[in-house]
């Protein structure tokens, strides 16, 4: 009976790990909804994945509530935004050599493959930066002045696509990063 539970637990962990790799940064509640499991099942699988050094958890403050966001262990918090090419219209001249990045407001960074006069007009500051295109993704390094302005090293962020533009919403303080026990 114990071996059967262990096999079932491993299958649960692998199923959940696959979803975490495909959708990094979901909360345990969001994971439970995605796999249609009860919270206890998800919590147990996440704890086992954490103990086996396959995931880490970032605890963020969302509207004065602590939320655990689960990431695969190989995902690094960085100042790089990566988006699959299939999410964007890659036709000329957009998204080839440069990206135009705009500080739109105190919580939103706008990134476009072309200059946008309307964003330039309302932004606090902007920059043109090189794009790396590899393995079917574009990769954009957020400039240091944006990192400092938005305090990105201590904030959670969500990347979304709006039309053919990328929006980075900066929200919630990172309170703690939980890694596997030493």
58 assigned to some structural domain: yes
CA distance 24 to 16: 11
39 assigned to some structural domain: yes
Q: What is the pLDDT of residue 5?
A: 52
Q: What CATH number is attached to the domain comprising 39?
A: 1.10.10.10
Q: What is the pLDDT of residue 180?
A: 74
Q: Do 126 and 62 lie in a common domain?
A: no
Q: What is the pLDDT of residue 3?
A: 47
181 assigned to some structural domain: no
Q: Do 69 and 84 lie in a common domain?
A: no
Token couple for 66: 């602590």
Q: What is the pLDDT of residue 143?
A: 96
The residues of the chain scoring below 70 in pLDDT are 1-5, 7-9, 76-77, 90-93, 181-182
Q: Do 85 and 169 lie in a common domain?
A: yes
For 125-174, write each residue's pLDDT tens digit.
999 999 998 888 889 999 999 999 999 988 888 889 988 999 999 988 88
Q: What is the pLDDT of residue 135?
A: 84
Please give the tally of structural domains in the chain: 2
Residues spanned by the domain of 47: 2-73
Percent of the chain's residues with pLDDT above 90: 57
Final residue of a structural domain among 25, 58, 73: 73
* Residue from 64, 62, 44 nearest 52 by CA: 44
* Residue from 60, 31, 33 nearest 45 by CA: 31
150 assigned to some structural domain: yes
182 assigned to some structural domain: no
178 assigned to some structural domain: no
Look up the pTM and report it. Answer: 0.75
């Amino acid at each position: 009976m114990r071996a059967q539970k262990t096999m079932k637990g491993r299958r649960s962990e692998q199923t959940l790990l696959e979803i975490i790799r495909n959708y990094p940064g979901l909360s345990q509640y969001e994971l439970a909804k995605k796999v249609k499991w009860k919270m206890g099942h998800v919590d147990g699988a996440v704890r086992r994945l954490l103990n086996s050094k396959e995931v880490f958890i970032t605890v963020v403050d969302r509207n004065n509530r602590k939320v655990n966001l689960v990431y695969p262990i190989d995902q690094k918090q960085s100042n790089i935004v990566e988006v699959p090419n299939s999410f964007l219209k890659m036709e000329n001249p957009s998204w080839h050599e440069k990206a135009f990045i705009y500080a739109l407001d105190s919580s939103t960074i706008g990134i476009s493959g072309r200059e946008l006069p309307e964003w330039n007009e309302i932004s606090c500051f902007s920059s043109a930066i090189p794009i790396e295109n590899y393995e079917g993704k574009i990769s954009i390094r957020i400039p240091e002045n944006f990192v400092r302005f938005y305090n990105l090293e201590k904030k959670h962020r969500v990347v979304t696509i709006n039309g053919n533009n990328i929006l980075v919403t900066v929200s919630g303080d990172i309170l703690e990063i939980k890694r596997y026990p030493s």
